[in-house]
Amino acid sequence: MDVGETVMKVALGSDHAGLALKRMIAEWLHRDGHQVLDEGTFSEESCDYPDFALKVARRVAGGEAERGIAVCATGIGMAMVANKVPGVRAAVCNDLYTARYSRLHNDANVLALGARVIGPGVAEEIVRTWMETPFEGGRHSRRLSKMAEAETSGKGEA
């Protein structure tokens, strides 16, 4: 970990399809000095991704973790479920550009990855970029406020 980098508590979860990548991510996060809250799964037996997406999202929304990372086959299901939890802004990122801008412009607090979409090398770069990129603020803060308002009103109106 470089001087000036922030150590974070990261909730980490996967289904069976994402288990191997989740284990790698845990190693990378530990290596970089972050604390990992592993929400499962812990076996390759078939399981339901919503269970683990919700555990990660609730840790982040509840303030027990600053960030969350959820892994399934595509990342899509994890993001869809995590975004049902108020206060969560989950983004599926399959490249460095989306990882960077999900943080810069959207202040994404949950990263969803597809273990069958990206390989470990790309995944490591995405995780590192996403963890290190700050929220830009400014005009993007106004947009996040509109997102939060739509979320709390339940109407989806901006």
Exactly one of 16, 34, 72, 93 is catalytic; name it: 72
Indicate the Cα dihedral angle 7, 42, 79, 141, nearest 10°.
-10
Q: Is 47 a catalytic residue?
A: no
What is the Cα 13 distance to its own chain's centre? 9
Exactly one of 30, 34, 93, 105 is catalytic; name it: 105
Q: Is 105 a catalytic residue?
A: yes
CA 46 → CA 19, 33, 43, distances in Å?
A: 11, 31, 8
CA distance 128 to 33: 12
CA 156 → CA 83, 141, 148, 150, distances in Å?
A: 13, 18, 10, 5
Q: Do 56 and 82 contact (CB within 8 A), yes or no?
A: yes
Which residues participate in catalysis according to the annotation?
A: 72, 105
